[in-house]
Structure formats: structure tokens, C-alpha cells
Amino acid sequence: MMEIGRVVQEARGIKSFFFKNYINCKPGQFVMVWLPGVDEKPMAVSYWKKNEFAFTSSAIGNFTKALNMLKKGDKVGIRGPYGNSFSLKQNACVVGGGVGMASVSALIDALKNPVVINGARSKEHLIYRKRYKNKNMIVTTDDGSYGRKGFTTAALDEVLLKNKTIRIVYVCGPEIMIKNVLEICNKHRIECEASLERYMSCGFGICGKCMINDRILCIDGPIFNSRQISKLSEFGKFARLKSGKKVTIKEYHSVNA
């Protein structure tokens, strides 16, 4: 188990937990976080330095609510990192929706001057505003309470129209947003890599709970490129519940929330 070094409040209900430990990690990978007696869940590594890393958690379900009560000095179980990683190509535009930003933030830190599009429902849900104040960042909020009013996708379309040097788009966020981002990338004929999410249990490719078509999300992903995603008929449509039952994405989110 690892001791929490510090906790940073990122937005309403969203906290980052820092650990003074070294993990051998690449941008896009995740760790399995264990709270004894509660649950174990995957969390993207959102900050990664030589001797410190963090993940960022939004209090939504039982597990994340219990997690976000923890303080400096508390211990949690950490195993991993697991999963594949982003390709780290330069001249990139990185799009994050909501707490999906946490899955692309280690990538943003690893790239040279990427264009960042950071979207949230409203100002109070926006994360990493100060962290990336020196970056080329466009902020969008659904309600216009901060930055541009509207979705990340509109901002991306505009960026790709204006900035012809961009060679790749990296994205994480709600699946519907990823789907729309992929369509925009296809329209502009620009490569895209997305970090996807499915219910996960083991994290190392054994239990089969996170299958999306024939892909095992925890080891074949969570990062997939446009070509790979185009072969996934379940993407944007279906996901599997904890029992393995295949349901619509809408039902999946209503059960998991």
C-alpha cells in the first residue's frame, strides 16, 4: 500500500491524490486503486514525475465518494501501471472532457506545446485550469460560465480548420464526445487516439469483463486509434455490465453512476 502525500482539490467533487513513490509509467496508463473493504477501481495516472505521481478522482459512486474522503497520510493499495499508452506524436491537439482530462494530462505534460481543449459542464467542474494556464489552452463550458460556451467538439473543429500544422488529436471524455471528436478528425483526415472506458475488474486481461467486441480494454487499450475504433461495432453503442450482460451505453452509465 502507498501513503497519500498530499491531496489537491481540483474542482467541485474532484480531487487529485499525490504519492511520493516512483512508478514506471507511460502517458495514458492507469493504476488499480484499492480501498480495503470498499472496492478496487482503475484510475488514470494524471500527474507523473520522477518521484511522484497522482490520480484524479471525481466523487460519483460509492468507491470514489469513499476515496475522496481520504486525507494526507492515509494509505491505499496501488497496483500497476497497466494498459497501453499514447503514441506521443508532436504537433498534437489534446481534447479532454470533464474528468476525462485526467487521462490525457500526463500526455499533455510529455508533449511539446500541444493545443489543449479542456471542456467541462461549468466553471465549478473545470479541472487543471491553473495547471495549464501557461499552455495553449482553450476552455469550453457547456453553460458558458467560463471560457467559451459550448462543447469541445466545436472548438476542435475550429482549431483544425485554422491550424494546419496539427498532425494528431488525442482525446478522453464521455464516449459520445469521443465519437464526435473522431468524426471531426475523419472529416479533417487527421489521426486520432482515444482513451476508452469499460467496467473493469482485474486490470491485467484475465477476467474478460472489459471486453469491447474482441478487444480486452485493460490490456489491448485503454488507448485505441481511429482505425482500431472503426472496427469496434460496440463503440458508442454498447457496453457490458458487471455481470457481463451487454446493454446500451445509456443503460450502462445509468447503472454505473
Partner 1 sequence: MLQTKLCNIKLKNPTILASGILGVTKESIGRIGKSGAGAVTLKSLCHEERLGNANPAMFSDDGAFLNAVGLPGQGIDSAVKEFQRLDNLSVPVIGSIYGYRIKQFGIVAKKMASLKPSMIEVDISCPHLDYGKPYYADTQLTAEVTKVVKKNAGRIPVSIKLSPNVYDIKEIAHAAEKAGADAITAINTATAMAIDVDARKPVLANKIGGLSGPALKPIALRCVYEIYETVKIPIIGTGGVTYGKDALEMIMAGSTCVGIGSGIYYRGIGIFKKVCDEMEAWMRKNKVKSLKEIRGCAHD
Provide the binding-site residues for partner 1, judged by CB under 8 A: 1, 32, 34, 36-37, 39-41, 75, 77, 201-202, 204-209, 211, 213-214, 216, 240-246
| Smallest separation (angstroms) from partner 1 to the CB of 214 | 4
| Smallest separation (angstroms) from partner 1 to the CB of 212 | 9
Which of 146, 238 has the CB closer to partner 1?
238
- The residue length of the chain stands at 257
C-alpha to C-alpha distance for 144 and 233, rounded to whole angstroms: 34
C-alpha to C-alpha distance for 7 and 107, rounded to whole angstroms: 21
| Smallest separation (angstroms) from partner 1 to the CB of 56 | 20
| Smallest separation (angstroms) from partner 1 to the CB of 50 | 24
The residue to which cell 482530462 is assigned:
101
C-alpha to C-alpha distance for 207 and 201, rounded to whole angstroms: 7
Q: Are 32 and 40 in contact (CB under 8 A)?
A: yes
| Smallest separation (angstroms) from partner 1 to the CB of 215 | 9
| Smallest separation (angstroms) from partner 1 to the CB of 60 | 16
C-alpha to C-alpha distance for 102 and 127, rounded to whole angstroms: 9
Which of 237, 242 has the CB closer to partner 1?
242
Which of 77, 144 has the CB closer to partner 1?
77
Which of 9, 213 has the CB closer to partner 1?
213
Which of 213, 230 has the CB closer to partner 1?
213
Contacts 24+ apart (CB under 8 A), 166-169: 166/91, 166/92, 166/93, 166/115, 166/190, 167/89, 167/90, 167/91, 167/92, 167/191, 168/87, 168/89, 168/91, 168/92, 168/93, 168/192, 168/193, 169/92, 169/93, 169/94, 169/95, 169/193
Which of 125, 198 has the CB closer to partner 1?
198
| Smallest separation (angstroms) from partner 1 to the CB of 98 | 23
Which of 69, 206 has the CB closer to partner 1?
206
